[in-house]
Amino acid sequence: MDNQQRSGEVHEVREGHDVREVRDWQGRRFRVGEDPRTLLAGRSRTSILWQAGLAMAAIGVLQYGYGAAVPALMERNGWTLAEAFWPLAIWTVFQAGVGFPIAYLRQRGWVGPRVLMLMGAILCEVGLLTLAHVPSSLGVLVGYSVVGGTGAGLVYAVCTSTIAKWYPERGAAAVGSITGAFAYGSVPVVIASVVALDASSWLPALDIAAVVMFLLIAISGLLFVDPPARWWPAAVEPRRWSLGTEPRRGRRRNPPAVREFSAPQALRTRALPAMVLILLCAGAVSLFDAAFLVVLARGMGADAALIALAVGLLVGVNGSSRAMAVGVSERIGRCRAIGLVLAVLAAGQVLIAVALGTGSAVSLAAAATVAGLGGGGFYPLFAGLAREYFGEDSAAEVHGIVYSAKAGSGLLGVGLGVLAVLAWGAPATFLLAGGVAALSAWGATALRRPGLPNTLPPLSAPGRAA
Measured from the Cβ of residue 450, the count of other Cβ atoms closer than 10 Å reads 18
Tell me which residue of 286, 201, 227 sits closest to 32, measured CA to CA.
227
pLDDT at 11: 47
Per-residue pLDDT of 51-74, as tens digits, reads 999 999 999 999 999 999 999 999
Task: Report the residue count for the chain.
Answer: 466
pLDDT at 169: 86
Tell me which residue of 437, 461, 180 sits closest to 285, measured CA to CA.
437
pLDDT at 251: 64
CATH numbers and ranges of domains, the chain: 38-237+245-445 (1.20.1250.20)
DSSP state of 448: -
- Contact (CB, 8 A) for 105 and 111: yes
Per-residue pLDDT of 310-338, as tens digits, reads 999 999 999 999 989 999 998 999 999 99
- Contact (CB, 8 A) for 379 and 95: no
Looking at every residue in the chain, the average pLDDT score rounds to 89
pLDDT at 459: 45
pLDDT at 373 over 70: yes
Measured from the Cβ of residue 84, the count of other Cβ atoms closer than 10 Å reads 23
DSSP state of 259: S
Residues β-bridged to residue 23: 29
Q: What is the Cα–Cα distance from 124 to 75, expressed in whole angstroms?
A: 24
Q: Is 123 left (phi over 0), alpha (psi -120 to 50) or beta?
A: alpha
Per-residue pLDDT of 4-56, as tens digits, reads 444 455 544 444 457 888 887 767 788 888 889 989 988 999 999 999 999 99
pLDDT at 449 over 50: yes
pLDDT at 5: 43
Mean pLDDT computed over 354-369: 93
Task: Indicate the SS3 state at residue 31.
Answer: strand
DSSP 48-110: HHHHHHHHHHHHHHHHHHHHHHHHHHHHHHT--HHHHHHHHHHHHHHHHHTHHHHHHHHHTTS
- Contact (CB, 8 A) for 52 and 178: yes
Residue 143: band (very low, low, confident or very high) from pLDDT cuts 50, 70, 90: very high
- Contact (CB, 8 A) for 184 and 315: yes
- Contact (CB, 8 A) for 323 and 179: no
Distances in whole angstroms, Cα of residue 345 to Cα of each of 60, 272, 293, 348: 20, 22, 15, 5
Residue 452: band (very low, low, confident or very high) from pLDDT cuts 50, 70, 90: confident
Higher pLDDT, 441 or 243: 441
∠ CA 74-78-83, nearest 5°, is: 65
pLDDT at 156 over 90: yes
Which pTM was predicted?
0.89
pLDDT at 245: 54
The identity of residue 130, as a single letter, is: T
pLDDT at 188: 94
Distances in whole angstroms, Cα of residue 289 to Cα of each of 79, 141, 277, 376, 456: 21, 22, 19, 11, 45
Per-residue pLDDT of 281-306, as tens digits, reads 999 999 999 999 999 998 888 889 99
pLDDT at 249: 55
pLDDT at 21: 84
Task: Indicate the SS3 state at residue 19.
Answer: strand
Q: What is the Cα–Cα distance from 272 to 324, expressed in whole angstroms?
A: 24
pLDDT at 466: 33
Q: What is the Cα–Cα distance from 357 to 300, expressed in whole angstroms?
A: 9
∠ CA 368-374-378, nearest 5°, is: 150
Q: What is the Cα–Cα distance from 239 to 92, expressed in whole angstroms?
A: 40
- As a whole-number percent, the residues of the chain with pLDDT over 90 amount to 68
Q: What is the Cα–Cα distance from 124 to 320, expressed in whole angstroms?
A: 24
